[in-house]
Amino acid sequence: MSTHEDVGIGDFVLLDEISHERVVENLRVRFNGGKIYTYIGEVCVSVNPYRSTNIYNSEYVEKYKDREMFENPPHIFAIADAVHKEMKQQGRDTCIVISGESGSGKTEASKIIMKYIAAVTNLEGQQEIERVKNILIQSNSILEAFGNAKTTRNDNSSRFGKYMDINFDFKGDPIGGDVTNYLLEKSRVVYQQKGERNFHCFYQLINGCNESDLKSMRLVRDPSSYNYIKKSSGNNQTTTVDKSDYKAVVNAMSTLGFTQMESQTIWNIVAGVLHLGNITFSLNEDKVNINDDKPLKDAAHLLAVDPSDLRAALIQRVIAAGGEVMQKTHTLVEAEYGRDALAKAVYDRLFTWIVSRINGTINVTSNNLHKHQRYRTLIGVLDIYGFEIFDSNSFEQFCINYCNEKLQQLFIELVLKQEQEEYNREGIAWQNIEYFNNQIICSLVEQSHKGMISIMDEACLNVGKVTDEVSKKKLLYQNPNMLLEAMDKKLVNHHHYTSRQLKPMDKELKHKTQFRIKHYAGDVVYNISGFLDKNKDTLFQDFKRLLFKSRNPIIEKMWPEGAQDITKTTKRPLTAGTLFKNSMIELIKNLTSKEPFYVRCIKPNEVKSPVVFDEERVTHQVRYLGLVENILVRRAGFAYRQRYDKFLKRYKMISQYTWPNFRGKTAMDGVKMMMDDKGFSNDVQYGHSKIFIRSPRTLFALEKARSDL
């Protein structure tokens, strides 16, 4: 409890009136006063300050280390400490779920938490633990280089989801970890919206590597020379940052023990993708032709494949029909589609390979440590792409926003529902709080048969197998109406779904291909063109065989399915939508099995300013994050609750019955005597293991009594 706060109120449950206006006002007062953290009980609300602050230094670490949350002003360190303590003392696996929209500060929060944990552990300075800590922290710069990009909402936007488990030994020191990555937005490799960039690594490489590497990768320092990054070169004014980031990434790779061969392969693939993007096609007497051999040769060189094999895979595909193998030449559209699909897939595999390579390093170290330990607990840190709305929203936003629905659902389950269950468990009388349950939107997306992902999958099936003689139109799913019709038919009465066909008069739905989902965090209009394509995620077999044949053993290993015999019919792979859905369900299951802590991030304005507090935008976030409901549930008539032992420890000195001699038998006895003695008993209820205090005034009075001594 932070009664020592001078700016606004440090814990929302202590507001005398709970309303959206008051909550936003308190956030504003605190933001303007430089206080970016505010609690709702054990939930930490964080407002992005958009400036560097000096509140994460070692002085602060000392201040929050091994303290209770109420002893200091609100800070994310206190959450990190509580999580670590819970794990260490109770031996429970814990997790920190960081949520909020794009640019609200999730990734920064996750890094601050990791740095805090690193700062308060390994007091004996064991070398191997130091190594683990180093790896955990340094891996961030590598993951961000390859998985983050500038978007219109955030200059360093995570374009992949990241969940990191950190393993601890019985002393509470980190001895290992494991990163799980979720759906990378690979479409960015070949296309970026106006004002956005490709993944950072492309610019880092071009601006940062030395002349001889540049030459050996056959690159020039000019981003406008490459189709895949050309568009963004206009707003590419960050070359100095890219340059120094490149160095940081190279250093991190060496800290993590990437071999020379491994890091060279990584950069070769990045360069190879750029060259792939410069391969263009034209029609010559109805046959697809590659215009210029140079990028083809350069790409082949960097991917360590034969240029003639790459050419063949780009202009035709091998199909097996009735046991016979034959070649089918691509149309122009197919060739261009194939090239982009190849670039995306190569990059996506690279990213996944990097994640597993990082895990490999952490685990080599931790295996040494595990030898002596049987007892291990975990802290999970989830930092995933935030809810986003762009001018044009596609399949990626659909997945990202669905993911945020799932996290909101988890929050409802664990915080709103369980909180109310605590009252039941403790035998406390309470009043039910109404809240919007977004389960209905989760179902809209994920339900079997009737959900949007199922409908998409079914539509994909209907389009026919890629290896079939299908028309170019069908193969490329250029007719999105079919899917939209299927959705309309099944979802016609769903309150959270609508399309242009269903609501022709709706002004927001301007195009035939648009549909809208009413998300918990706001309405999003999606454009269905490309959905089926991205869901099916076709990559011609020829490319898989090509890369499997790479002379580079690392690349070969990234493409094991290339070994498959062409005449064997392969099982239909799961669609991107279904894979994503399954990974989300798995993630939620994992989080549910742990003791959760929450950081709710808020974006104060759209202009990245440290001084602008946009009331309207913040109100919107406060609403959809359900903060008011959270506060109400948390209070449900009780502003504060605490375990008897902890409560007694803090206030025992105020009563003659508990200090200096303790006259009770149990902590509960002691608390009751103390509260009776001080005349506070009317305002409290005694649960089975905790005391519940109704009014914030009682708490202030207790604090005052304590400080007046």
Kindly list the residues in this chain that would bind ligand ATP in the complex (CB under 6 A). 48-50, 52-53, 100, 102-108, 154, 156-158, 385-386, 601
The span from the CA of 506 to the CA of 501, in Å, is: 10
From the list Mg ion, ligand ATP, none, partner contacted by residue 244 (C-beta under 5 to 8 A by kind):
none
From the list ligand ATP, Mg ion, none, partner contacted by residue 53 (C-beta under 5 to 8 A by kind):
ligand ATP
Query: Rounded to the nearest whole angstrom, what is the least distance from the CB of residue 246 to Mg ion in the complex?
Result: 20
Query: Rounded to the nearest whole angstrom, what is the least distance from the CB of residue 385 to ligand ATP in the complex?
Result: 5
Q: Is 93 helix (H, G, I), strand (E, B) or coil?
A: coil
Query: Rounded to the nearest whole angstrom, what is the least distance from the CB of residue 383 to Mg ion in the complex?
Result: 6
Query: Rounded to the nearest whole angstrom, what is the least distance from the CB of residue 196 to ligand ATP in the complex?
Result: 12
Report, in angstroms and rounded to the nearest whole number, the Rg of the chain calculated over CA atoms. Answer: 28
Which residues make Cβ contacts (< 8 Å) with residue 632, sequence separation at least 6? 18, 433
Residue among 408 and 575 whose Cβ is closer to Mg ion: 408
From the list Mg ion, ligand ATP, none, partner contacted by residue 103 (C-beta under 5 to 8 A by kind):
ligand ATP
Residue among 148 and 236 whose Cβ is closer to Mg ion: 148
End-to-end Cα separation, the chain, in angstroms: 18
Residue among 104 and 138 whose Cβ is closer to ligand ATP: 104
Q: Which amino acid is at 461?
A: L
Query: Rounded to the nearest whole angstrom, what is the least distance from the CB of residue 73 to ligand ATP in the complex?
Result: 15
Query: Rounded to the nearest whole angstrom, what is the least distance from the CB of residue 431 to Mg ion in the complex?
Result: 38
Q: What secondary structure, in 3-state letters, does 249-314 show?
A: HHHHHHHCCCCHHHHHHHHHHHHHHHHHHCCCEEEECCEEEECCHHHHHHHHHHHCCCHHHHHHHH
- Geometric angle at alpha carbon 630, from 627 and 633, rounded to 5°: 150
Residue among 164 and 288 whose Cβ is closer to ligand ATP: 164
Contact call for residue 139 and Mg ion (CB under 5 A): no
Query: Rounded to the nearest whole angstrom, what is the least distance from the CB of residue 76 to ligand ATP in the complex?
Result: 8
Consecutive H or E run containing 616: helix 615-624
Q: Are 631 and 435 in contact (CB under 8 A)?
A: no
**161-168 vs 174-182, strand pairing mode:** antiparallel
Residue among 10 and 105 whose Cβ is closer to ligand ATP: 105
Residues in contact with Mg ion, counted by CB under 5 A, come to a total of: 3
The span from the CA of 104 to the CA of 102, in Å, is: 6
The span from the CA of 523 to the CA of 515, in Å, is: 10
The CA-atom distances, in angstroms, between 335 and each of 181, 190, 248, 340, 342 are 30, 14, 37, 9, 10
From the list ligand ATP, Mg ion, none, partner contacted by residue 223 (C-beta under 5 to 8 A by kind):
none
Catalytic residues: 102-103, 107, 154, 157-158, 386, 388
From the list Mg ion, ligand ATP, none, partner contacted by residue 50 (C-beta under 5 to 8 A by kind):
ligand ATP
Residue among 48 and 550 whose Cβ is closer to ligand ATP: 48
Consecutive H or E run containing 595: strand 595-602
The CA-atom distances, in angstroms, between 224 and each of 186, 203, 293 are 20, 11, 19
The beta strands (E) that lie in 422-486 are given as none
Strand partners, 182: 161
Residue among 98 and 691 whose Cβ is closer to Mg ion: 98
The span from the CA of 87 to the CA of 615, in Å, is: 38
Contact call for residue 107 and Mg ion (CB under 5 A): yes
HSE-up of residue 133 (Cα within 13 Å, Cβ side): 20
Contact call for residue 158 and Mg ion (CB under 5 A): yes
Contact call for residue 48 and Mg ion (CB under 5 A): no
Contact call for residue 408 and Mg ion (CB under 5 A): no
Per CB under 5 A, residues contacting Mg ion are 106-107, 158
